[in-house]
A = this chain, B = another copy of it.
């Protein structure tokens, strides 16, 4: 990935969402890697509500496996747009946003 302008994609899903027998967030991360993107990070929230408006909180032990998940990916516009085509059908409940006007200051692997 070169420096310059980029996009940051954010995918908001639930920890318990499944895709073909595995955790959706894990399936997405694998897909992002497969597509050759520069990197991705999965964050787990401690509380939230979302697509199905259910209250998810780590305070409540019972729901601890349904916490909110955010996956973040940064890359150039073209790569992010290709990725959206592949990821979007996997997200049957959730939110996908693309943050525009990002400068890639440094990328070293």
Contacts and interface: CB of A to CB of B under 8 A. Distances in A.
State the copy count for this chain.
3
B108 A91 contact: yes
Contacts of A93: 108-109
A40 B1 CA distance: 26
Contacts of A103: 97-98, 100
A106 interface: yes
A70 B102 CA distance: 16
Chain A interface extent, by class: 35 or more
Contacts of A51: 39, 107-109
Interface of A: 1, 6, 8-10, 12, 25-26, 29, 33, 38-53, 55, 57, 68, 70, 72, 74, 84, 88, 91-109
